[in-house]
């Protein structure tokens, strides 16, 4: 195996990973990031977020060549026309994606080659809350269930440890389980 191939594990360049971690240890001010999204209403339950710019490692990051557009919608039963996944489903995607990437990165750092990571997420909701029909149920999911199936070249115990470590480091898992302060301001014209 060549030196270059050896540094890539699970599709992650581990040499760059270690260099990034070392740099941030030495210069903690580089760890300040800001991610952003802009959103525009397109009619009914249809709206679209555009995601491109972000601040990272001491300046605006300009490496992202194109924006990502994400459409939202609601199914017919929630008065939409299925123009996109609904917002609560998008939150499940954010959680699945973050846990999965965390598993892959942790495995790469621990020299474990993965062959497959799949997950199924469920979110249970009493829609009386969000619809304002009853003040008792909360608006969001009462609970989220995540089922991972992980395969790789390591004993089951090691793979489970990797998932535990990924939970302990995942940005979205932290936000969804612990909450985040959100400040909303409004301009009208």
Residues 37-66 that bind its own copies (CB under 8 A): 37-41, 43-47, 49, 51, 54, 56-57, 61, 63-65
The C-alpha atoms of residue 120 and residue 141 are separated, in whole angstroms, by 16
Token readout for 54 is: 């972000």
N- to C-terminal Cα separation, the chain: 63
- Pick 2 or 29: Cβ nearer its own copies: 29
Q: How many residues touch its own copies (CB under 8 A)?
A: 130
- Pick 2 or 26: Cβ nearer its own copies: 26
Does 76 sit near its own copies (CB under 8 A)?
yes
What mask, x for binding its own copies by CB under 8 A, covers residues 111 to 130?
A: ---x-xxxxxxxxxxxxxxx
Instruction: Report the residue from 110, 111, 145, 153 that binds its own copies according to the rule CB under 8 A.
Output: 145
Tokens 């917002």 found at: 87
The C-alpha atoms of residue 173 and residue 181 are separated, in whole angstroms, by 15
Does 82 sit near its own copies (CB under 8 A)?
yes
**Min. distance of Cβ 14 from its own copies in angstroms?**
9
Strand partners, 54: 35, 61
The C-alpha atoms of residue 103 and residue 119 are separated, in whole angstroms, by 12
Does 132 sit near its own copies (CB under 8 A)?
yes
Tokens 């491109």 found at: 52
Instruction: Report the residue from 33, 110, 111, 153 that binds its own copies according to the rule CB under 8 A.
Output: 33
What mask, x for binding its own copies by CB under 8 A, covers residues 153 to 172?
A: ---x--xx--x---x-xxxx
- Pick 3 or 132: Cβ nearer its own copies: 132
In terms of Cα–Cα distance, which of 171, 177, 121 is closest to 149?
Answer: 121
Spatial contact of 152 and 115, defined as CB atoms under 8 Å apart: yes
């Amino acid at each position: 195996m060549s030196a270059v191939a050896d540094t890539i594990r699970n599709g992650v360049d581990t040499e760059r990973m270690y260099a990034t971690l070392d740099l941030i240890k030495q210069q903690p001010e580089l760890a300040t990031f800001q991610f952003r999204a802009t959103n525009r209403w397109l009619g009914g339950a249809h709206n679209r977020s555009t995601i491109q710019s972000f601040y990272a490692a001491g300046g605006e990051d300009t490496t992202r060549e194109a924006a990502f557009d994400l459409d939202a919608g609601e199914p017919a039963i929630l008065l939409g026309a299925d123009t996109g996944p609904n917002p609560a489903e998008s939150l499940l995607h954010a959680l699945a994606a973050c846990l999965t990437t965390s598993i892959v990165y942790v495995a790469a750092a621990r020299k474990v080659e993965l062959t497959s990571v799949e997950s199924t997420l469920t979110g249970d909701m009493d829609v009386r809350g969000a619809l304002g029909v009853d003040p008792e149920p909360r608006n969001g999911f009462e609970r989220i269930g995540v089922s991972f199936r992980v395969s790789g070249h390591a004993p089951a115990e090691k793979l489970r440890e990797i998932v535990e470590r990924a939970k302990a480091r995942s940005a979205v898992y932290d936000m969804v389980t612990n909450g985040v302060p959100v400040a909303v301001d409004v301009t009208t014209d």
